[in-house]
Amino acid sequence: MSNSSKIVLITGATAGIGRMTALHLAKLGHHVIATGRKPAELAKLAAEATGHVDTLLLDVTSLASITAAVEGVDKLTGGKGLDVLVNNAGFGTLGPTSEISDAEMRRQYETNVFGLMNVTRAFLPKMMERRAGRIINVSSVGGRITLPYFGAYNSTKYAVEALSDSLRYELRPFGIDVAMIEPGLIRTNFEATAVANLGAMATTPYAKAVGKYEEMSKMADKFAANPIVIAKAIARAVNARRPAARYVAPFSTNFVILFARMFPTRMWDWAMRRVGYLTAKGLGLDGAAPAPVATPGALAVPPPTKPTGSARVSAN
């Protein structure tokens, strides 16, 4: 692909990174198809944009919505289809991993993983036919390293990393490039969405630690970067003759990934044991464990019996 104007569809363009990317790519002269779930936000974006921006409704978790968006793109492009698909829509729910409900975990996978794959499948056939195209998946530094309270979200981004790597190998013969964007900490609505579920932790064994976590999280937000750094990284992936497999931004995030690789797991575990909200004290567990409550009707476990004869123990 050359550096000239391309037809680029962006999912989740109603806020944060997606919105900034739509504005930036349009300014660079690309034909942007900004998509999202909120018509009013899409209208505001189109009014603010300088350049060629069309909008389409697209909820990545709805197959009907995806089909309608494919038809919409066909109309907007005279049947040509997309040059570039930017899979950006996504969110995280934070909290102790064992306390994230099954429904909440599935909701994250429906958007971040299955949504991304369904949108990709829907727009691929035209790219494969033309033997040209580009898929840019917004992953995360959280797809390379795992943090406490991020387990569910991190697992969706690890999935995005594996799927993207595999797609990159498989789609290359069709002239289709696959690149990933790995943002660090970026100031968007992400954090507000992510902590919304923490209130539900008040009735869990982690109740005491969650407040401490929120304090730390607010402090970390001060170091968050402007989403324009990610919009620029996406623009590099759109414009490159051959894109890199991964774009890490802001630059300082590279050091986080490097440290994570350099230090053995044992050392990370040592450091994590010292984080306030992960200590027994932080959790209010520094007293003696309460006596086990007898369950009514529970079967008494018989004491182990001595083996008789020549019983053999096998290790497998």
Q: Closest by alpha carbon to 185, among 223, 146, 234, 139?
A: 223
Contact 90, 68 (CB under 8 A): no
Please select the residue that binds ligand NAP; options are 186, 195, 210, 237, rule is CB under 6 A.
Answer: 186
| 202 vs 245 by CB, closer to ligand NAP | 245
The CB-of-234 to ligand NAP minimum distance in angstroms stands at: 10
| 56 vs 283 by CB, closer to ligand NAP | 56
Q: How many chain residues are in contact with ligand NAP, going by CB under 6 A? A: 30
48: amino acid identity, one letter: E
Contacts of residue 156, Cβ cutoff 8 Å, sequence gap at least 6? 90, 92, 108, 109, 112, 113
Q: Quick one: tokens of 198?
A: 């923490």
Site string for ligand NAP, 52-71 (x = CB under 6 A): ------xxxx----------
Site string for ligand NAP, 247-276 (x = CB under 6 A): ------------------------------
233: amino acid identity, one letter: A
Q: Quick one: tokens of 191?
A: 């954090």
| 128 vs 256 by CB, closer to ligand NAP | 256
Rounded to 5 degrees, φ, ψ at 131 are 55, 40
The CB-of-71 to ligand NAP minimum distance in angstroms stands at: 17
Please report whether residue 115 would count as binding ligand NAP according to CB under 6 A: yes
Q: Quick one: tokens of 39?
A: 């018509």
DSSP-assigned states of every residue in 34-78: EEES-HHHHHHHHHH-SS-EEEEE--TT-HHHHHHHHHHHHHHTT
Distances (CA, A) of 210 to 72, 96, 118, 206: 44, 9, 35, 6
Please select the residue that binds ligand NAP; options are 3, 101, 166, 189, rule is CB under 6 A.
Answer: 189
- How many whole angstroms separate alpha carbon 221 and alpha carbon 302? 55
**Residue range at the interface with ligand NAP (CB under 6 A); choices 35-43, 44-52, 196-204, 297-305:** 35-43
**Annotated active-site residue in 153, 158, 247, 277:** 153
| 128 vs 228 by CB, closer to ligand NAP | 228
Please report whether residue 38 would count as binding ligand NAP according to CB under 6 A: yes
Please report whether residue 21 would count as binding ligand NAP according to CB under 6 A: no
- How many whole angstroms separate alpha carbon 229 and alpha carbon 149? 26
Please select the residue that binds ligand NAP; options are 55, 111, 154, 155, rule is CB under 6 A.
Answer: 111
Residue 256 CB coordination number (10 Å): 15
Query: Helix, strand, or coil here: 31?
Result: strand
**Residue range at the interface with ligand NAP (CB under 6 A); choices 31-39, 124-132, 214-222, 296-304:** 31-39
176: amino acid identity, one letter: I
17: amino acid identity, one letter: I
| 142 vs 243 by CB, closer to ligand NAP | 142
Q: Quick one: tokens of 150?
A: 């991020």
Please report whether residue 101 would count as binding ligand NAP according to CB under 6 A: no
Q: Is 149 a catalytic residue?
A: no
Give the strands of the sheet with 246-249, arranged side by side: 53-57, 31-36, 7-10, 84-87, 133-138, 176-183, 246-249
| 81 vs 115 by CB, closer to ligand NAP | 115
Site string for ligand NAP, 145-184 (x = CB under 6 A): --------------------------------------x-
Q: Which residues belong to the active site?
A: 153
Residues within the interface to ligand NAP (CB under 6 A): 11-12, 14-18, 36-38, 58-61, 88-92, 111, 115, 138, 140, 183, 185-186, 188-190, 193
